Structure 1
Amino acid sequence: MKGAKITAIGSYVPVSRLTNSDLEQLVDTNDEWIVQRTGIRERRISREDEYTSDLCIAAVRNLLTRYGKSAADIDMVLVATSTADFSFPSVASIIQHRLGIPLTVGAFDVSAACAGFVYALHTAHAYVASGLHRKVLVVGADALSKITDYTDRSTCILFGDGAGAVLVETDEQQDRFLGYHLGSDGGGAHHVYRTGLSHTVNGVELGGSGKLVQNGREVFKWAVRTVPQGVQRVLDNAGATLEQVDWFIPHSANLRMIEPVCERLNYPLSQALYSLEYFGNTSAASIPLALDLGIREGKVHSGQRVLLYGFGAGLAHAGVLTELQLDEQVAPPDVL
C-alpha cells in the first residue's frame, strides 16, 4: 500500500445570482423567512447553455492555474454529479476530451447525490493507495437549477449550481487519508429523488417531469440522527478524536441542519465550514466549494485535518478524515 494526499483544489460558480428577493417574485416567500429557516441568502444559476461539464471544466482549469499543475499526467478522472449533461456519455469523458487529458486515462461518473464528492474521493484514495494510479482528478459538480421546480417554494429556495475539483496524488511518505465511513438507507429513497418514469419505490408512487422532489422534514430527521453517528465511525476508523479535527465540512444542505449536527457532536459551529450562504445547496459541489472557500479566506492550511461528510438522496452518506498536503499556489484564485 502507498500513501495518498490532496495536493490541489479549484472551484467555479456561475456568474448569475438568484437572490432571496428574486425568489419573492416567483413564489410566496421572503428573505427573512428563507434566511431564518436555511441560512441561504443567494445562489448561483448557470446559463441556459451552461451545463455540468462546463462547470467542471472551469473548476479544473482554476485548479491547474492556481497550483501550476498539468492535465497531461492525470491518470484517472472521477466526476460526482446528479445532473450529467446526458444519461451517457459521462461528464468525466466529456471533460477528459475538452481538457486534453490523455486517451489512455479512465473516466467515469459517480452517482451518490449530495454524498457523491466524498464517495468519489474515497474511490480516488483507493486507486492511489493501492498503487494502481498516481494522480486522480476528482470533481463534484451539479447544475441543480436545471432540475428545480420554481413553483415549489419548499425546494426552489435551496438549490444552486457550482463545481469543485481536487487532485489526489501519491504520497511517498505516508497516507494522508486517515479514516472513512460509508452508509446507505434505501428505505428512505422516496424522501428525496428526481422524478422520471412512473415507478413505485418502498410502496410510494414516484413520477413526474424530471424535477427534484424532497420531503425536507424526513431528510432533516434522518441527517441529524445519522451524520453524528457516521462522524464518530470515521473517527473510530482513524483512531482519532474530534479534538484532533481542525475543520468539519458537512454537506451544505441547510444551516439549520448543520447546527444540530454540531450540537450533537459537541463540536464548535465556528469550526464548521459551509458554502450555502451565497451558493445555496449545490449537492456534490457543496463540500469542495466550502473547503476552497476556507482556503481562499485563509482559514484552512496545509497540514490541517479536515473531516468531510456528505449525505443525501439514497439515502446515502459518506465521511472521510484527511490531512491536507496542498502544494504551494503559483497564481491567485479567480474571484467567486
Structure 2
Amino acid sequence: MTQSAIYSRVVGTGSYLPARRVTNQQLADELATRGIETSDEWIVERTGIKARHFAAPDQTTSDMAVEAAKRALEMANLSADQIDLIMVATSTPDFVFPSTACLVQSKLGVTNGCAAFDIQAVCSGFAYAMATADNFIRSGAYRNVLVIGAETFSRILDFNDRTTCVLFGDGAGAVVLQASSETGILSSALHADGSYSNILCVPGNVNAGAVQGEAFLYMDGQAVFKLAVKVLEKVAHEALEKAGLEASAIDWLIPHQANLRIMTSTARKLDAVEKMVVTVDQHGNTSAASIPLALDVAVRDGRIQKGQTVMIEGVGGGFTWGAVLFRM
C-alpha cells in the first residue's frame, strides 16, 4: 500500500504590534532634539515608510512573539500543548541564551516537552524557518509546528544615524504549519553569501561582561539595495521553477517589508505589483517579523483566501536570502 504524501499547510496566522506607534513626524521631532535633521517627506520618498511601532521598555521579543502565537493558535483552533515544535526567527533575542523559542514555550504554558529553537538569518529568517518547518513536517517528524518571526530592532538602532534609525520597527508575526494530505508549501529556496557580511551587520559581541565592538546596526544602504534587487528576483524564479509554475500563478506576493523601492522593483520583474502585499508604510522594517505580519494582515482583511498561491521572499544580513511558495 502506497503511503500518501505529507504536505505542510498554513492553518493559522497571527501578529502583534506594540502599542507605541511613532509617525515620521514624531520621529523627526525626537531626532531634532539630538541635532539630527530629517522629515516625513525625506523618509517617505526614500523608503515608503510613514510610521512604525516601538516596544515598551519592559517589553521583550518573547513577549511579542507569544501574543502573535496566541492569535495564530486561535485561528488554527489548536491548544498550545498540541504544538510539537516551536521555531522563532529573530536577530534580537531576549538573551544570548536560552533561546527565545524556549521562553515562548514557557510563556505559552506548553508542558509537552516539544522541541524549541531559534533561527538567525536576520530579515530572511522567517523564510528560512518556514522552509525548515516544512522539511520537518514532510519527514513525518512533527505534525503541528509554530513558526514565529519577532524583533525588537529599536534596541539596536543608533538614533544619531538617520540613514538607519528611520527604517526599523518592532513586532511579531506567527503561523501554524500542520501536516496535511492537501497541498500546502510547494517549494522553497534558501541561499547565503558570507562574503557580504559587512554590508549589513551589528559588529559587536559580549566579551568579559562588556560589549566589544559596535552594538548598533550598520548598513551600507546602496550595496544592500543593489544586492537585494538582484537576488530576490533570482530566488523567486528558482522557487517557481522548483514548483513547476510560472510567475503568473502567484496570487499574492509578500516580500520582506524593507523598502518600498526594493519591493516594487522585484514585483515588477514578476509582473506582480498589483499582487503585492504592502505593510512597510505602517510597520517599517521589522526584519524577521515583517513577512508574517504582512501575511496575517492580508489573511484577516480577506485578501488572501484558501486555495490561493502565495510567495514570500526575504533578504537580510549574512547575507541571506530565500523564498517560499505555498498554497493557502
Aligned equivalents of 2:233, 2:78: Cα separation in 1: 36
Q: What's the secondary structure of 2:80's corresponding residue?
A: coil
Is 1:20 aligned to 2:44, yes or no?
Answer: no
Aligned to 2:12: 8
Does the 8 Å CA contact 1:192/1:219 hold for their aligned counterparts? Answer: yes
Q: Give the gaps of 5 or more residues in structure 1.
A: 199-206, 325-336
Q: CA deviation at 1:156?
A: 0.6
The separation in 1 between residues aligned to 2:115 and 2:205, in whole angstroms, is 31
> Is contact 1:274–1:287 with CA below 8 Å preserved after alignment?
no
**Alignment partner, residue 309 of structure 2:** 305
Q: Give me the whole-angstrom Cα distance separating, in 2, the residues matched to 1:274 and 1:132.
A: 35
- CA RMSD in angstroms, aligned pairs only: 1.5
1:286 partner amino acid = S
**Where does 1:36-185 land on structure 2 (aligned, <5 Å)?**
36-171=45-180, 173-185=181-193
Q: 1:175 to 1:67 in 2, by over 3 A?
A: closer
- 1:45 touches 1:145 (CA, 8 Å); kept in 2? yes
Partner residue of 2:209? Answer: none
1:261: which partner in 2?
Answer: 266
Tell me which residue corresponds to 1:230. Answer: 235
Shift of residue 104, structure 1, vs aligned partner: 1.9
Q: Secondary structure at the match of 2:12?
A: strand
Could you say which residue in structure 2 is the equivalent of 1:209? 214
Cα distance in 2 between the residues matched to 1:109 and 1:240:
31
**Alignment match, 1:248:** 253
Q: Which runs of 5+ in 2 are unaligned?
A: 207-211
AA aligned to 2:266 is V
Structure 1 CA distance for aligned equivalents of residues 76 and 243 of structure 2? 29
The alignment status of 1:189 with 2:202, answered yes or no, reads no
Deviation at 1:64, TM superposition (A): 2.5
State the alpha-carbon separation in 2 of the partners of residues 310 and 258 from structure 1.
10
* Structure 2 match to 1:282: 286
How far apart are 1:102 and its partner, in Å? 2.5
Q: Aligned equivalents of 1:194 and 1:178: distance in 2?
A: 34
Amino acid aligned to 1:225: K
Query: 2:326 aligns to what?
Result: 322
**Corresponding position of 1:328:** none
* Contact residue 274 and residue 286 of structure 1 kept, 8 A: no
SS of equivalent to 1:48: coil
Q: How many residues align?
A: 315
CA contact (8 A) 2:253 2:272 kept: no
CA offsets, 1:173-199, max 9 Å, x none? 23411111111111111000013149x
SS at structure 1 position matched to 2:306: coil
What residue in structure 2 maps to residue 31 of structure 1?
Answer: 40
The C-alpha deviation readout for 1:16-72, integer Å capped at 9, x for no partner, is 011100121203110011111100000000000001000101111122334432111
Alignment deviations for residues 85-113 of structure 1 (CA, whole Å, 9 cap, x no partner): 00100000001111111242000000000
Asked whether the 8 Å contact 2:11–2:75 carries over to 1, the reply is: no
Question: Percent identical across equivalent pairs?
Answer: 41
Amino acid at match of 1:244: A
Contact 1:180 1:319 in 2 (8 A): yes
* Cα distance in 2, alignment partners of residues 7 and 18 from structure 1: 32
2:278 and 2:256 map into 1 onto residues whose CA distance is 7
TM-score calculated relative to the size of structure 2: 0.93
Letter in 1 for 2:230: R
> Which one of the candidate residues 225, 236, 240 is aligned to 1:220?
225
> SS of the counterpart of 1:300?
coil
Query: What is the aligned partner in structure 2 of residue 204 from structure 1?
Result: none
Structure 2 counterpart of 1:257, one-letter code: I
